[in-house]
Amino acid sequence: MIVVMKSGATEEEIEVVRKLLENKGLGVHVSAGVEKTIIGVIGSKDRVRELAVESMPSVEKVVTVSNPFKLASRDFHPLDTVVRVGDLEIGTDNPVIMAGPCSVESKEGIIDIARRVKKAGGQVLRGGAFKPRSSPYSFQGLGEEGLKYMAMAREETGLPIVSEVMEPDTVNLMVSYVDILQIGARNMQNYPLLRAVGKTETPVLLKRGFSNTMEEWLMSAEYILAEGNRNVILCERGIRTFETYTRNTLDLNAVPVIRHLSHLPIIVDPSHGVGKWRYVTAMSRAAIAAGAHGVIVEVHPKPEEALSDGAQSLTLEKFESMVKEVELLADAMRSIHPEVIASR
């Protein structure tokens, strides 16, 4: 349920309502808007009714939220969430470009890629240190050594880094190295892992599972939010369909739908979404046109020699061209009112 405070309600009046609800064992989340404050309430509806909150002079109304995801819902948090990573803001009308190799392969390699990603206009360096692979015989990543190399690349370039965390036991290790924790598609419903990253304050990039609905995706975000970590970024990376010409089907429907349902920022991963480099730039443009807050793409100096996902990796030259096209489109999109973009 949500308690909508009257316009002009004072901080003292809001605090009275908050304490009343908390004293009855209800979960309370306050969202202060420009005109009104909304108090999200998690717990028994009957208990809220017993308190007669709606009769309080500072309360405008009490509304039942039908969505199973509460904290991720725009009902609970009407304003867009902006996730801050250092000086970088994710969730504004300035799209963020994350780029790097699927896997960290060497110290020299990741530092060189980081330099060129930054020079081209990329703002976040991606790279896998622990790689979940379909085959146990495929390259599984360099582990902590790969994280150390990424940290060196960050020191060299200033780019924040994002890398995938796979197990609850490695969360603390990952937090000591990375700026954004990635939850991969295979782990979207790994609830112990979601709870573990939720106990940190490190931003989390939550990828949609390739066979999951948007509601299931938002419910996974709810696990992280419920543990106290409000820095969640959603990532659409394609779903499985009957189509075979692409690796997955990039579900760009998700962008406007998520922006309507949730306050959380959403970015798009066209590399995994299509699985073929020749379509990545086009789908990056499409993602920004749909209203995405950014894209995350795979790049490699020699994709044909990449230890993983070479077929979907852009060369650094093609990445530079992609960035220019995305920036031009973003400039055009900024001329459209944000409400129009979000409703598309």
* Confidence (pLDDT) at 135: 61
Residues 308 and 230 in one domain: yes
As a whole number of angstroms, the distance between CA 337 and CA 327 comes to 17
User: Given this model, what pLDDT does residue 32 score?
Assistant: 81
Is residue 283 within 8 Å of residue 269, measured between CB atoms? no
Instruction: Give mean pLDDT, residues 108-137.
Output: 87
77 lies in some domain: no
Q: Concatenate the DSSP letters of all residues of 229-268 into one string.
A: ---EEEEE--B--S--SSSSB--TTHHHHHHHHBSS-EEE
Classify residue 76: in a domain, yes or no: no
The C-alpha atoms of residue 86 and residue 344 are separated, in whole angstroms, by 30
Q: Are 244 and 285 in contact (CB under 8 A)?
A: no
pLDDT digits (tens, 9 = 90+) for 129-172: 986 655 654 555 788 999 999 999 999 999 999 999 999 999 99
Is the model more confident about 185 or about 2? 185
pLDDT digits (tens, 9 = 90+) for 18-55: 998 988 888 888 888 777 888 888 877 777 777 888 88
For residues 35 and 118, membership in a common domain is answered with no
pLDDT at 41: 87
Domain assignment present for residue 276? The answer is yes
Q: What is the pLDDT of residue 344?
A: 43
CB atoms within 10 A of CB 334: 14
Is residue 238 domain-shared with residue 310, that is, in the same domain? yes
Residue 215: pLDDT band by 50, 70, 90 thresholds? very high
What separation, in Å, do the N-terminal and C-terminal C-alpha atoms of the chain show?
28
Pair 292, 250 in one domain: yes
CATH code of 188's domain = 3.20.20.70
pLDDT digit string, tens, across residues 229-271: 999 999 999 999 999 999 999 999 999 999 999 999 999 999 9
Cα–Cα dist 228/222, whole Å: 10
What per-residue confidence (pLDDT) applies to 338? Answer: 54
CA 184 to mean position of chain CA atoms: 11
- The number of folded domains in the chain is 2
C-alpha distances out from residue 146 to 108, 126, 136, Å: 11, 12, 19
Give the tens place of pLDDT for each residue, 318-338. 999 999 999 999 999 888 755
* Beta-ladder partners of 41: 28
pTM of the predicted structure, to 2 decimals: 0.89
Within-domain flag for 72: no
Q: What is the DSSP string of 133-168?
A: -SSTTS----THHHHHHHHHHHHHH---EEEE---G
Q: Do both 161 and 287 map to the same domain?
A: yes
Same domain, 147 and 13: no
Q: Residue 222's domain spans which residues?
A: 83-343
pLDDT in tens, 274-333: 999 999 999 999 999 999 999 999 999 999 999 888 999 999 999 999 999 999 999 998
162 within a domain of the structure (yes/no): yes
Tens of pLDDT, residues 98-109: 999 999 999 999
Q: Please give the order of strands across the beta sheet that includes 27-32.
A: 27-32, 37-42, 2-5, 59-63
Confidence (pLDDT) at 250? 98
